[in-house]
Structure 1
Amino acid sequence: MNLLELLGVKTVRATATEAIVEIAVTDQLKQPFGVVHGGINTILAETAASLGANAGLDTTQQIAVGVNVETHHLYTVAQGRLRANAKPLHAGKRLQTWQVEVHEQASARLTSVSTVTLMITARQ
């Protein structure tokens, strides 16, 4: 089982111009004070950006891997469903940079914003 299966992250869409992933908020995703752990926002951001970046590559030859993630947590979430929407800011041949917004679906409230940089490398 990989991390995405373990956490229950679902891919909604993954193209070279947009990637969307979702996760249901469960007690397993919360920190001791009852709100979603900030690392979950970062996992969603890097996952969405990576899926989008790789959707534009021939992954039998190359893959995009995260080299930097910067996440700003804006609002806490204790229940509901989170949706991460990633769009490329720059899609170069060696580096890609994606902007990712995470929203709590029921309220549509923006809960975090991330910038993810990925390196394009030969598949080993």
Structure 2
Amino acid sequence: MNLLELLGIKTLRATTTEAVIEVPVTAKLKQPFGIVHGGINTILAETAASLGANAGLDTTQQVAVGVNVETHHLYTVAQGTLRANAKPLHAGKRLQTWQVEVHEQASQRLTSVSTVTLMITKRAN
């Protein structure tokens, strides 16, 4: 089982110009105080950016992997569904940088903003 399956993350769209994923808020996403753990925002950001960056690659030959993530947590969430929307700021041949916004769907409240930098590398066999 991979991390996306474990957490229940669903891919809604993954293209070279946008990647959208979502996850329902469940107990396994929360920290001991009953709100979504901040690391979940970062997982959503890197996952969405990686899906978008890899959409333009021949992943049998090369892959985009995260090398830096900066996340700003803006609003706490205790229930609902989180949706991450990633868009490229720069899509070079060796590095890509994506901006990711995470919203809670029912309220449409922006919960976090991340910048994700990915490196394009040869796929290991």
User: Structure 2 length normalisation: TM-score?
Assistant: 0.98
Counterpart Cα distance in 2 of 1:8 and 1:63: 23
* Correspondences of 1:40-59 after superposition (within 5 Å): 40-59=40-59
**Deviation digits for residues 40-61 of structure 1, max 9, x if unmatched?**
0000000000000000111111
Residue 22 (structure 1) aligns with: 22
Give yes or no for the alignment of 1:77 onto 2:77. Answer: yes
Which residue of structure 1 aligns with residue 9 of structure 2?
9
Determine helix, strand or coil for the equivalent of 2:34: coil
Unaligned 5+ residue runs, structure 2? none
The Cα of 1:120 is off from its aligned counterpart by: 0.1
Aligned-partner Cα distance in 1 for 2:61–2:27: 39
> Which residue of structure 2 aligns with residue 31 of structure 1?
31
d(CA) in 2 for partners of 1:54, 1:107: 30
Q: Give the Cα separation in 2 of the matches to 1:52 and 1:30.
A: 26
Residue 99 (structure 1) shift: 0.1
- Match of 1:116, SS state, is strand
Distance 1:121 1:33 in 2: 39
Q: Report deviation, 1:78.
A: 0.2
Identity of aligned pairs, percent?
88
- Displacement of 1:4: 0.6
Segments of 4+ in structure 1 off by > 4 A?
A: none
Paired with 1:42 and 1:62, the residues of 2 have a C-alpha distance of: 23
Q: Which amino acid aligns with 1:86?
A: A
Structure-1-length-normalised TM-score: 0.99
Structure 1 unmatched runs, 5+: none
2:86 matched to which residue of 1? Answer: 86
Q: How many residues align?
A: 124
* Secondary structure at 1:76 match in 2: coil
Q: Deviations over 1:68-112 (max 9, x none)?
A: 000000000000000000000000000000000000000100000
